[in-house]
Amino acid sequence: MQLERADLLQIYYLMRLTRAVEDRTRTLFLQGRVVGGVYTGQGHEATTVGAAMTLRDGDIILPQHRDLGMHLTRGGSPRAVMCQWLARGNSPTLGRDGTLHIGDMHHGIVPSISMLGESLPVACGVALTLKMRKRDTIVMAPCGDGATNTGPFHEALNFASVQKLPIVFVVENNGYAYSTPTYKQFAIENLSDRAKAYGMPGEYVDGNDVIKVMDAVERAVKHARGGKGPALVECKTFRVRGHSEADKADYVPPELREEWLQKDPIKRFEAYLAEKSILTDAVKSEIEAKVKMVVDDALSFAEQSPAPDGATVADYVYAPDGPIAVIGEPGADDPRYVNALDTRTGEPFNTVTDDASKMARYEAQEVGKR
Ligand SMILES: Cc1ncc(C[n+]2csc(CCOP(=O)(O)OP(=O)(O)O)c2C)c(N)n1
């Protein structure tokens, strides 16, 4: 895959930004300022940023709990992320949800579902929609090694393959599903072998080498975009922190963690860039300053943002009558504005779902029906 100097530095910036946003979040967590748990993808940056870099406008991703790198690479805003961590009223879920359930429909980012593996059938639904609409856009559906042992994973792979859906499954094999090591989870060497059982191409790659990740995922993306159906890439990486920041991960042998710390994806990419004389000390300092500025800005934006208004607590309990959201098609500037299809007429129209009086009328009507 041909990458220009600017692309390589952009990848490096995104990997550093992902790490820095998570580092700052960990500090906020220790200060008791994060509402809910903190789950990081530290060590996964080559996989998450590299995989997402292969996508283009209109493609849809369904990032999971280690995938902040995908979120930021696809255009998710660090300000929104910080607002979500601090549960501010203007966060993507309007302060209503935990840190993980962050999405951004304007950038084709579908929020994750807590139940392991359950985002994968949803990814199939999204891909089926794209296929029915004859788009040449695709879906990227990441999941962990643990998730590959759930029923929805197998159902999704089967359905995607039978329907020839444009999906790239990215399995982030990071050695553990919470405290369960991979050798207690499955009896095969490579999870990419599971692709064969469903009739789709599967390959595995060093998930800590961003160039190799992009290369492999690019092949899968080409396959999916070319109408040949789904493909799977297993990225072998490691979860260098606990399952969440509340987990000390005592069950991970220290020498194993140390071994993987030596293979840190950011350090490896730095060495690669330095060898090509792309990352000089001056360029590195410039990028570090930019990362710091973006993270500082995101945090101060979140700190100045209001808490949710308690009076609105019951808003959004019911979906508005009729419309369904059409993802991947940006609406107006209001982040809560969605393009929609009327389920009765099939006609497109726009709706602002946070219109309080409309919601109140709707809810009164619904309560009256019961
Ligand atoms: C159906 C279900 N079972 C258990 C959990 C609790 N849980 C959340 S994440 C996780 C481990 C996930 O492991 P893996 O898929 O390997 O992803 P990783 O966290 O390692 O990235 C577990 C057991 C859950 N969310 N859903």
Whether residue 330 has pLDDT greater than 60: no
Mean pLDDT across the chain? 89
Point out the least confidently predicted range of 129-138, 181-190, 303-312, 315-324. 315-324
What's the predicted TM-score (pTM) here? Answer: 0.88
- What pLDDT score does 71 carry? 96
Whether residue 81 has pLDDT greater than 50: yes
Q: Which tokens sit at 330?
A: 């940006």
Distance 114 CA to ligand 1 centre (A): 8
Whether residue 339 has pLDDT greater than 50: no
Pairing of strands 231-236, 167-173: parallel
Q: What is the mean pLDDT of residues 237-264?
A: 97
Whether residue 368 has pLDDT greater than 80: no
Classify burial at 270, counting beta carbons within 10 Å of its beta carbon; exposed 0-12, middle 13-18, buried 19 or more.
middle
- Distance separating alpha carbons of residues 165 and 225, to the nearest angstrom: 9
348-352 β-sheet, strand order = 323-325, 337-342, 348-352
Q: What is the mean pLDDT of residues 249-254?
A: 97
In degrees to the nearest 10, what's the CA dihedral of 355, 360, 363, 369? -130
Q: Which amino acid appears at position 113 of this protein?
A: I
- Distance separating alpha carbons of residues 138 and 52, to the nearest angstrom: 12
Binned at pLDDT 50, 70 and 90, residue 63 comes out as very high
What does the longest C-alpha to C-alpha distance in the chain come to? 70
Pairing of strands 176-177, 180-181: antiparallel
- Dump pLDDT digits (tens) for 169-190: 999 999 999 999 999 999 999 9
Query: Within its chain, how far is the Cα of 183 from the centroid?
Result: 26
Site to substitute for ligand 1 among 182, 243, 247, 252, most atoms within 8 A of C-beta = 243
Which residue is closest in CA terms to ligand 1's atom 3? 116
CA–CA distances in Å: residue 242 to residues 41, 42, 145, 299, 353 = 10, 10, 15, 24, 38
Please say whether the beta carbons of 348 and 340 come within 8 A: yes
User: CB within 8 A of 47, min separation 6: which ones?
Assistant: 69, 170, 172, 207, 208, 213, 235, 237, 265
Q: What is the mean pLDDT of residues 281-304?
A: 97
Nearest by Cα to 173 from 51, 15, 44, 49:
44
Point out the least confidently predicted range of 99-113, 127-141, 212-226. 99-113
Distance 147 CA to ligand 1 centre (A): 6
Site to substitute for ligand 1 among 22, 119, 149, 178, most atoms within 8 A of C-beta = 178
Distance 146 CA to ligand 1 centre (A): 6
Binned at pLDDT 50, 70 and 90, residue 100 comes out as confident
Q: What is the mean pLDDT of residues 69-84?
A: 95
